[in-house]
Amino acid sequence: MRALKGLFLLIIANLAVFLTLAITGNLLIHFVLPAIGIDLRGSIATYDFAWAMVFGFGGAFISLLFSKQFARSMYPMQPVIEPKTEKEFLVYNTVKELSARVGIRMPEVWVYWADEPNAFATGPSRNNAMVAVSSGLVENLSDDEVRAVLAHEIGHIANGDMVATTLLQGLMNTFVYFLSTFIARIAASATSRDEEPNWLVYFLVQTVLQILFSVLATIVVMWHSRRREFAADRFAAEMVGAEPMIRALAKIDAIARALPAPEAAEPDALATLKIHASESRIARLFMSHPPIEERIAALRALQAQGRVR
């Protein structure tokens, strides 16, 4: 029931985003830009590119703006504002301490109920973020391992990963929309028997190319996601030491593999945010996280070089 509610809210949210961007794009292209001497309406290519930017970057930034609300809708969560238990004090005080050390506003702290040991950070900016940990994480990891995981998540926030990923996603979206539309227009004109474009060809070509280009764009975004995981691991090692981070990664991976597989092969909408993501049923190019053994090896290499303790 919760999954259906989440799906319904996601559909409504996407419709609202589409309408907002459609209205904004029309106002921008037909009124605002011409008023300041920039008229994109005369060129089909620039007109299409302007629309591609509106939907590409607009959708990505709206998702970023509401990322905390979206994340909270995915799980039953509760905020930790005044910690009461020993584990809540551990999580809250660690986030408070680490955020102060790196000079950012303390993120919101949330706990969600899930057997899988995991954590994630999200939010529209470094000073407007949240950190969430699963009940499985605090129940199965030692205190120093929990601190290492939290340092990893603070690393994502301090490094500005959410904004960087949004910019990359917006750029990829823009080129997906533009290239698929541009090529579809050429195909529709080439197959036309009169002055009117062949709209059936246009629709088919655009749909196929959007799927193809979206797959290619996903490869780029996932490559970036894997790189930021290495950077966040290094940040955690610098903050609390490499050994707790290595133990945490190994333990999280072992527990996650021992848990029963999900009944449905449903994609995890928050996979790129979490410290651990499943490697099953997906090719290496589409992995949001590097394999655990590679992350541990990278930390060991940093230790050997004397760059972390």
> Do residues 115 and 153 touch, judged by C-beta distance below 8 A?
no
Q: Domain-by-domain residue ranges, the chain? A: 71-162+224-304
Confidence check: pLDDT of 126 > 60: yes
Confidence check: pLDDT of 141 > 70: yes
- Would you place residue 265 in the very low, low, confident or very high pLDDT band (cuts 50, 70, 90)? very low
- Would you place residue 264 in the very low, low, confident or very high pLDDT band (cuts 50, 70, 90)? very low
Across 234-243, average pLDDT: 96
Confidence check: pLDDT of 245 > 80: yes
Q: pTM, whole model, 2 decimals?
A: 0.81
CA-to-CA distance for 49 and 40, rounded, in angstroms? Answer: 9
CA-to-CA distance for 271 and 27, rounded, in angstroms? Answer: 35
In this predicted structure, which of 89-103, 191-205, 219-233, 287-301 has the lowest mean pLDDT? 191-205
Q: Does residue 139 carry a catalytic annotation?
A: no
Instruction: Give the pLDDT confidence score for residue 308 in this predicted structure.
Output: 87
- Would you place residue 32 in the very low, low, confident or very high pLDDT band (cuts 50, 70, 90)? confident
Strands of the sheet with 77-79, listed across from one edge: 77-79, 108-112, 128-134, 119-125
Instruction: Give the pLDDT confidence score for residue 219 in this predicted structure.
Output: 93
Beta bridge partners of 131: 109, 121
Structure tokens at 126: 């470094």
Domain spanning 71-162+224-304: which superfamily? Metalloproteases ("zincins"), catalytic domain (3.30.2010.10)
Angle between the N-to-C axes of helices 292-304 and 242-258, in degrees from 0 to 180, rounded to the nearest 10: 170
Instruction: Give the pLDDT confidence score for residue 36 in this predicted structure.
Output: 80
The length of the chain is 309
- Would you place residue 55 in the very low, low, confident or very high pLDDT band (cuts 50, 70, 90)? confident
- Indicate which residue of 82, 139, 145, 153 is catalytic: 153
Instruction: Give the pLDDT confidence score for residue 2 in this predicted structure.
Output: 46
Q: Are strands 128-134 and 108-112 parallel, antiparallel or unpaired?
A: parallel
Maximum Cα interatomic distance, the chain, rounded to a whole number of Å: 75
- Would you place residue 268 in the very low, low, confident or very high pLDDT band (cuts 50, 70, 90)? low
Instruction: Give the pLDDT confidence score for residue 134 in this predicted structure.
Output: 96
In this predicted structure, which of 142-151, 216-225, 259-268 has the lowest mean pLDDT? 259-268
Across 7-33, average pLDDT: 64
> Do residues 58 and 24 touch, judged by C-beta distance below 8 A?
yes
Confidence check: pLDDT of 198 > 50: yes
Instruction: Give the pLDDT confidence score for residue 232 in this predicted structure.
Output: 97
Confidence check: pLDDT of 195 > 80: no
Residue 5 vs residue 304, higher pLDDT? 304
Structure tokens at 150: 């939290």
> Do residues 40 and 46 touch, judged by C-beta distance below 8 A?
yes
> Do residues 249 and 295 touch, judged by C-beta distance below 8 A?
yes
Instruction: Give the pLDDT confidence score for residue 139 in this predicted structure.
Output: 95
In this predicted structure, which of 71-85, 205-219, 280-294 has the lowest mean pLDDT? 280-294
What are the C-alpha distances in Å from 221 to residues 131, 162, 289? 22, 12, 11
Confidence check: pLDDT of 14 > 70: no
Average model confidence (pLDDT) for the chain? 85
What are the C-alpha distances in Å from 199 to residues 48, 193, 221? 16, 12, 32
Confidence check: pLDDT of 13 > 90: no
Percent of the chain with pLDDT over 90: 58
What are the C-alpha distances in Å from 275 to residues 123, 161, 230, 245? 16, 13, 11, 11
Give residue for tokens 């593999």. Answer: 257
Q: Which tens digits make up the pLDDT trace of 58-114?
A: 888 888 999 999 899 888 899 999 999 999 999 999 999 999 999 999 999 999 999
What are the C-alpha distances in Å from 293 to residues 78, 129, 175, 296, 297? 33, 29, 34, 5, 6
